[in-house]
Chain A
Amino acid sequence: MSRSLLFIPGNNPSMIQNSDLYGADAVIFDLEDSVLVQHKDAARKLVKFYLEQFNLLSCKVIVRINGMETPFLKMDLDDLTYDYIDMFMIPNATHGAIEYITNQLKELEKERHLKKEIKLIPIIETPYALLQVKDIVKMSRVSGLLFGAEDYSMNMSIKRTKEGSEISFARNMISIAAKAYNKEVYDTPFIDVNDSEGLKKDILLAKSLGFSGKAAIHPRQIDLINTLFSPSQEDIFDALRIIKEAKKDNKGAFSIDGKMVDAPIITRAKKVIEQAKLYGLIGDGDV
C-alpha cells in the first residue's frame, strides 16, 4: 500500500541518486514521457545500473516503461526484469497490452529464476482504457491503477482545470473498478508544484473518492500527500475507541457519543488502525 509515488526522470543521475530521500512510499523511475527518444537507451541503462549497484532504496521500486506502441517496450522489459523491481507502470494501458506484457514477464521471470512476480500498474489515460478498466484491473498481475488525467484530457479534447470537474467521471470509474477487485488506486499528479493549497484540495478530493494514494511530480509534494493519505490523530483516536468498545461489547451494534456503531464502522476502524501501524503512526502496544 503506497500513499505517495514519486516520479523521477530516468535520465537524471542526481535525482536518481537522491530518489530514496524524500519519504515517498514508492519511487517511479520514468523511462517514458520525461525522457526524449534519443535518451531512451541511456536512461534505461542508468536506471538499471543504479538499481544493480545501490541498495539505498527503502521504498517500493516502480519503473514506468514505454508503451506497446513504441519500439522500446521489449528493451525495457529485457533490461529491467530483475528482482530489484517491484512493479512496472504501463502507459497507454489496454487489456491487450497488459496481457502481452504479462506473458513477456512470465517468460523472463522463469528464464531468470526471479524470486518474485513483478506486478503491474496500468495507467488509465485514454477513453478506451476507461471503457476497459474493469477487465484491466481484474488481471492477476495488476496490483493497482494510476489515473493519468493529463493524457486522458488530451485524448478527450477537454481542458484540464484545477478543480477537476471534467475528470470526475473518470476518477470515480477508476476508483470504483479498483475497489471492486480489491486493488490499489492512485490519483493523477497535481502539476502545479508551487500551489500547495491546490494540491491539498486535490488530495482530499481523491481521498474522498476512495483513492489510496497519489502520484507526485516533485519531492515537495510528498509530505502533504503522505500526511493527508494517513489517518489523522483524530481518526486514530476514534478508531481505537471503537475497537475497544467492540471488544467489550459483543453486541452487533452499540453507540459511542450517541452515534451508532455497527459492523461496517468497526471494519473501517480496523482499517484505520492497520494503516496507522503501517505508516508508523502507532505501535502494536497502542492497540
Chain B
Amino acid sequence: MSKPMFTSIEAYKNISYKKIEPVLSHTTDKFKSNLEEVLDLLSLRDGMTLSFHHHLRNGDGVLNLVMDYIIRRNIKNITLAASSLFPVHGLIVDYIEKGHITKIISSYINGPVATAISKGLLKDQVIMQTHGGRARSIETGELVIDIAFIGLSCADKNGNGNGKYGQNAFGPVGYSNADMMYAKNVVVITDNLVDEVKEDEIQSKYVDYVVVVDSIGKQESIVSGTTQITKDPIGIKIAKDTTKVLDALGLIKPGFSMQTGAGGVSLAVANEVYNIMSERNIKGSFISGGITAYFVKMLEENKMDKLFDVQCFDLEAVRSYRENKNHIGMSASKYANPFDNPVVNNLDFTILGATEIDLNFNVNVTTDSYGAIIGGSGGHADSAYGAKVTIITTQIMKSRMPIIKDRVTAITTPGDSVDILVTERGIAVNPKRTDLINCLSGKIKLYSIKELQDICYTITGKPMNIEKGNQTIGIIEYRDGSIIDYLYKK
C-alpha cells in the first residue's frame, strides 16, 4: 500500500487507529546453546525483516553478531528495522553492497551506513521514521517484523529480562517494547544469564528463544557524541538566551515539564533552568526522553518528581534507572506514538537542535546541506508536536554555512510544530504563534526569521543553491506514517 503524503501535523486525528493482536510465543524450551541453532529453528531466510534496538548506542554488539550469521549463510534481501544505526555498525556497508541488506527502516542513522545509503548503495529504499512513528507502524502491522533480536544485559532462561543489571546494563528497553509484542518471533540475546528476573521489561510470554553470548556490546560506548554541557561561549550564550525566553514565557514554574536533547547546548539550557529552579525553589513534574546525568541530579535533588526514560544517554542515567523508583522506563509508544496519548503531549517545552531551519520553520536533522544522511528524527518531530512550546537552538552558521535556508534540504519536523528559534544573533518566533509573540513583546528583542537570515548573509554571503540529486533513495516519514519528504542519492 502506498503511503500518503503529509498534509498537516493534526492529520492523524482523522485516521482510525487499530492495533494488531500481540503475538504470543508458543515455544516451551526457549533456552538454546547458540545463535546458529536459533536461526535454524526460525528458518531465517531471504527477504525477512529483522529488528534491533539501539539502547547500547555506539556500543551495540548484537546487530553485528546476527549479521555475521546472515553473511555466513549467504542470506539476501534482508530488511533491517533497527531503531537506530551508529558508526559501530559500519561493517554492514559491505553487506548492503553485496545485497544481503536491501532495505533499512530506522529513526536515526549516523556514520558509514548513512554515507553508504546516501551514495545509493541500498537496492531498495531507506525509510526514516520518528521514534513514535516506528512504534505506531509496528503496532498497526504496517511494519511486520519476522524476527526481533533483543539484546539484554540481564535475562533468565525463559526470556524474562531487562537492561538494568549486568556488566553491560543500559537502562530501559523502551524501543523494543513494540518489537517484543508484535514481532512474529522474538529472540533474547544476553551476556548475563540469571536464575530469576524480578523486573521483567521483556516478558517470557512473547519470547521464543534465549541465547547467551560472550558480550552484547560495550556499555561505556553508550556515551557517544556530546553529553556534556557546552563550554563554547557561543553555545553558552544561546543557552542563556533560551532560558531568558523560557523565563519570560513563564514556563519555569512549579510542576513544569521539559525535554531536551543530549547535545551540549541543550544540556546548558537544562543547567540554566536548574539554576533558576534552585534560586526560586521551584520543583518540576517530569523530564522525558533521553536521560543524562544532569537530569538524574535534578531528580535526586528533589527538583523533579519523575524522569520518564526511553533511553539512557550515559552511565549515571543507567545507575539511576536501577536505583530510583521515580526514574521510570517507558516504551517508545508511550513516549511518542501519536495514537497512544503519549508523554510528549504533556510537555510544557522541548529544546531541540537543527542542522537546518527554513523560513517556514521547517527543521532538518536528517541530512546535511548537501543532502547526505547524518542523523534522523529520533524523537524530534514527536516532541516538537507534543510540547506546548518547541524551541530550536542552533548557531546561525556552521562552518560558514548559513543554517537558515529558504527551504530546508529535507524536512524532518514540520514548521507548524516549531515555535521559536534561538541563535547567537537573535531570536525569532513562528508568526503563527501570536500568543508567544505577544507574551515576549517588550521583554525579549525579537526578529523575523528572514531578518536573522539576512544578518547571517551579511557575514557569510548568500550561498549557491545545491541541486538535489534526481534519484530518490528513500523517504522521511512523519510520525503519522505520511511521507513528509524524500531523500536523494548524492
A residues in contact (CB < 8 Å) with B: 17-18, 21-22, 54-56, 218-220
B234 and A18 contact, CB distance less than 8 A:
yes
Within 8 A of A (CB), among B421-480: 424-425, 458-459
Question: In the complex, what distance in Å separates the CA atom of A21 from the CA atom of B456?
Answer: 13
Question: In the complex, what distance in Å separates the CA atom of A54 from the CA atom of B236?
Answer: 23
Question: In the complex, what distance in Å separates the CA atom of A96 from the CA atom of B237?
Answer: 42
- A239 vs chain B, min Cβ distance (A): 25
B residues near A18, Cβ cutoff 8 Å:
233-234, 424
- A53 vs chain B, min Cβ distance (A): 9
Within 8 A of A (CB), among B377-428: 424-425
Question: In the complex, what distance in Å separates the CA atom of A220 from the CA atom of B237?
Answer: 9
Interface centre among B233, B458, B459 (most CB of A within 10 A): B233
Question: In the complex, what distance in Å separates the CA atom of A219 from the CA atom of B230?
Answer: 13
The answer, among B237, B424, B459, for a CB contact under 8 Å with A54, is B459
Question: In the complex, what distance in Å separates the CA atom of A21 from the CA atom of B234?
Answer: 8
The answer, among B233, B234, B458, for a CB contact under 8 Å with A56, is B458
B residues in contact (CB < 8 Å) with A: 233-234, 236-237, 424-425, 458-459
Which applies to chain A's interface (DSSP): helix, strand, loop or mixed?
A: loop
- B359 vs chain A, min Cβ distance (A): 22
B459 and A17 contact, CB distance less than 8 A:
yes
Output the nearest chain A residue to B399 by Cβ-Cβ distance: A14
- In the A-B complex, list the 5 residue pairs whose CB atoms are closest, starting with the nearest: A219-B233, A21-B424, A18-B234, A21-B237, A22-B233
Output the nearest chain A residue to B238 by Cβ-Cβ distance: A21
A residues near B233, Cβ cutoff 8 Å:
18, 21-22, 218-220
B residues near A55, Cβ cutoff 8 Å:
458
Q: How many A-B residue pairs have CB under 8 A?
A: 22
Q: A21-B234, A54-B459, A218-B233 are in contact. List 16 more A-B contacts (CB 8 A).
A: A17-B459, A18-B233, A18-B234, A18-B424, A21-B233, A21-B424, A21-B425, A22-B233, A22-B237, A54-B458, A55-B458, A56-B458, A219-B233, A219-B237, A220-B233, A220-B236
- B378 vs chain A, min Cβ distance (A): 29
B residues near A220, Cβ cutoff 8 Å:
233, 236
B residues near A21, Cβ cutoff 8 Å:
233-234, 237, 424-425
Question: In the complex, what distance in Å separates the CA atom of A56 from the CA atom of B455?
Answer: 9
A residues near B458, Cβ cutoff 8 Å:
54-56
Which applies to chain B's interface (DSSP): helix, strand, loop or mixed?
A: helix
A residues near B424, Cβ cutoff 8 Å:
18, 21
B residues near A22, Cβ cutoff 8 Å:
233, 237
- A100 vs chain B, min Cβ distance (A): 36
Output the nearest chain B residue to A15 by Cβ-Cβ distance: B233
Output the nearest chain A residue to B233 by Cβ-Cβ distance: A219
- A86 vs chain B, min Cβ distance (A): 21
Question: In the complex, what distance in Å separates the CA atom of A54 from the CA atom of B459?
Answer: 7
- A254 vs chain B, min Cβ distance (A): 37
Pick 19 A–B contacts, CB within 8 A, sort by A: A17-B459, A18-B233, A18-B234, A18-B424, A21-B233, A21-B237, A21-B424, A21-B425, A22-B233, A22-B237, A54-B458, A54-B459, A55-B458, A56-B458, A56-B459, A219-B236, A219-B237, A220-B233, A220-B236
Question: In the complex, what distance in Å separates the CA atom of A17 from the CA atom of B460?
Answer: 10
A residues near B459, Cβ cutoff 8 Å:
17, 54, 56
- B374 vs chain A, min Cβ distance (A): 22
B residues near A218, Cβ cutoff 8 Å:
233
Question: In the complex, what distance in Å separates the CA atom of A181 from the CA atom of B234?
Answer: 38
B residues near A56, Cβ cutoff 8 Å:
458-459
Output the nearest chain A residue to B231 by Cβ-Cβ distance: A220
Question: In the complex, what distance in Å separates the CA atom of A56 from the CA atom of B426?
Answer: 12
- B273 vs chain A, min Cβ distance (A): 17
- A48 vs chain B, min Cβ distance (A): 17
- B249 vs chain A, min Cβ distance (A): 22
Question: In the complex, what distance in Å separates the CA atom of A271 from the CA atom of B153?
Answer: 67
Output the nearest chain A residue to B423 by Cβ-Cβ distance: A21
Question: In the complex, what distance in Å separates the CA atom of A56 from the CA atom of B456?
Answer: 11
- B471 vs chain A, min Cβ distance (A): 37
Output the nearest chain A residue to B397 by Cβ-Cβ distance: A17
A residues near B236, Cβ cutoff 8 Å:
219-220
Question: In the complex, what distance in Å separates the CA atom of A56 from the CA atom of B425?
Answer: 10
- B26 vs chain A, min Cβ distance (A): 62
Output the nearest chain B residue to A21 by Cβ-Cβ distance: B424
Output the nearest chain B residue to A23 by Cβ-Cβ distance: B237
